[in-house]
A and B are shown apart, each in its own frame.
Chain A
Amino acid sequence: MTDSVEYTLSELMAVAGARELKDGQIVAVGLGLPVVAAFLAKRTHAPHMTILFELGVVDPEPVAPGVGLADPRVWHRATMLSTFADMLGTVLHRGLVDVGFLGGLEIDAYGNVNTTLLGDPKGAFRHFVGSGGANDIASLARETIIIIRHEARKLKEVISYITSPGYLSGEKSWRDAGLAGGPRRVITDKAIFGFDPESKRMRLESIHPGITLDDVLANLGFRPIVPSDLPTTEPPTAEQVRLIRQEIDPQGMYM
């Protein structure tokens, strides 16, 4: 049905992210690969999905890629321009966001994400971006999807700082802390992970074409649950790759 097509691992990640989104959902998106994934879903199987940016942007249709959420290019042709209180308050805090789509500096085996600092928070550290709306989205969306590069220094047993909670230390710890929702998928450039329903530890769901299990585990700072039956991630279709390259990110800003 679909011819095999050349693609990059970034394109595969964006396509895998798009596949997680369903038509009709309300999706809160941070910038970068998650935006490409969301626009791709919207242009293919999810035309009635609503995309939100935290600063007050609903359903934009950019004609040029932006350098971040602060770039008016990514607000273009929105259906509403409003406020943080509206997006993060009356939609997210109200419980109406189906999927939060996040990136990060580090993630641990329970899906806790760090975007704040690397090092010892009470000693020597290097400070980065912090939360923005990420903590709020991770805490309040019905589920979150995280896209992150597959490197041992990024996927770690212990991360420097929990900016955005996943399942904390697993099992019931996250519920005891008053959290609901939680991460559903972690998409890297080598594999896709889910979470064990009981322990809430990360579990391999599929490995990308051409990647071995050794590649996946050798570049991981923790041991995920590895099921005996491990499928290969479905590759992008020619049409998905065409949409990314020609329409969504023609300048290769995120790819």
Chain B
Amino acid sequence: MKVCDLSAAVASIPSGSHVALSGFAITRCTMAFAREVIRQGLRGLTLSQCVGAMDGDLLVGAGVADHLIYGGGSLDRFGRLACINRRIEDGSLKVEEYSSLSMVFRYQAAAMGLPFIPIRSLRGSDILERLAETAPADHAEIIDPFTGEDCLVLRPLAPDVAVVQVQIADAEGNAWIYGPRWDNGEQVRAAKRAIVITERLVPSEIIRQQPEQTVIPGFRVSHVVQLPFSAHPASVYRAYDYDADEIRRYAEAAKTPAGLRAYLEEYVYGVRDHWEYLAHIGGAQRLNRLTADPVLGY
């Protein structure tokens, strides 16, 4: 049985694992997951995502992760990824910084079982210059056997587990993602397994009526967790909008270690689980205000 509660899904991840996260800045972030990981006290995680997001920032800020492989990122207009930036600046985070395309190509190579993947960006940049020091074993210059030209190649990136926030899934983990999917399909296929966190759990019959909508096949999924508003305060397209007040609160708190500690005390350690979290941020009344307009999707 793949369907379980969030704490059981998190408990399946050993400390030290490489976890790919589905968030992009402030949308479809694995926030309830991140809060539970922190409560369970996991340590030494490696995180990866094409574009850094609020889920990664919280995990890095809480000291749960100390290795990040990403393509840069922000909280959009709400600010920088303050925890990630602070730990890059003080040297306590091992960071390998790529671009969006080079990250997705690395996932894609792992997804297809390729030995390496050629790429025509990164060249001439300080991104590549820095990677030569931070991750020298993950790229190489080879000669293209067909043209004889220099060719930059990247090593596949295969996470231990991809954690993906979706709108709809069945009990087997067959999942639909509404809206753009950024790197999520490649993350799931690159990873050894996936954990699906879904707003709605539907009968397989719903999936089987429109299987062309399925972007995550159940046979790659080990755990399915149904949890509403589990990306809060980030948005989930066609389900709910981002919570601007709560993101602003986080962005402000994350600016200092003391601010972040207070945030964690209140929003993570101060609540027993996601249900208490939802009650704490204002319960049904607040969530109702965030619920997406069915025409606009936000």
Contact = CB atoms under 8 A, between A and B. Distances in A.
Nearest to B78: A67
A73 interface: yes
Contacts of B124: 139, 162, 165, 168, 174, 177-179
Interface stretch (A10-18, A49-57, A185-193, A207-215): A49-57
A90 to B, nearest CB: 11
A133 interface: yes
Interface residues of B, number: 59
Contact of A126 (B26, B89, B121): B89
A68 interface: yes
A125 interface: yes
B150 interface: yes
Interface residues of A, number: 54
A71 B180 CA distance: 11
Contacts of B182: 55-56, 83-84
Contacts of A144: none
Main secondary structure, interface of A, reads loop
Interface stretch (A39-47, A74-82, A219-227, A241-249): A74-82
B298 interface: yes
Contacts of B179: 72, 75, 81
Interface string B131-166: 000000000000000000110100000000000000
A68 B71 contact: no
Nearest to A32: B77
Contacts of B235: 70-72
A82 B105 contact: no
A84 B120 CA distance: 15
Contact of B125 (A81, A127, A164): A164
Contact of B298 (A53, A73, A124): A73
Contacts of B24: 55, 69-70
B298 A136 contact: no
Contacts of B77: 67-68
B105 A89 contact: yes
Which of A57, A72, A93 counts the most B-chain CB atoms under 10 A from its CB?
Answer: A72
A83 B179 CA distance: 10
Interface string A172-185: 00100111000000
Nearest to B70: A130
B105 A140 contact: no
Contacts of A135: 99, 101-102, 121-122, 125, 127
B104 interface: yes
Contacts of A131: 71-72, 97-100, 127
Contacts of A129: 72-74, 80
Nearest to B95: A127
B120 A116 contact: no
B123 A139 contact: yes
A128 interface: yes
Contacts of A93: 101, 119-121
A135 to B, nearest CB: 4
A163 to B, nearest CB: 6
Contacts of B85: 126-128
Interface string B246-268: 00000000000000000000000
Nearest to A67: B77
B26 A70 contact: yes
B74 A83 contact: no
A134 interface: yes
B186 A83 contact: yes
Contacts of B101: 84, 88-89, 92-93, 133, 135-136
B150 A84 contact: no
A140 B27 contact: no
Interface string B75-97: 01110100011001100000001
Interface string A108-151: 00000001100001001111111111111001100000000000
A165 B120 CA distance: 12
A128 B181 contact: no
Nearest to A88: B101
B6 interface: no
A115 B130 contact: no
Nearest to A78: B180
Given A71-B27, A88-B104, A131-B99, A165 B123 contact: yes
A85 B104 contact: yes
A75 B298 CA distance: 10
Closest 10 CB pairs of A and B: A130-B72, A68-B76, A56-B180, A70-B25, A177-B124, A139-B121, A136-B101, A135-B99, A72-B298, A67-B77
23 contacts: A67-B26, A71-B27, A71-B76, A71-B235, A83-B184, A84-B182, A84-B183, A85-B185, A89-B104, A126-B89, A127-B80, A128-B80, A128-B85, A129-B74, A129-B80, A130-B72, A131-B71, A132-B51, A132-B72, A140-B121, A162-B125, A178-B123, A179-B124
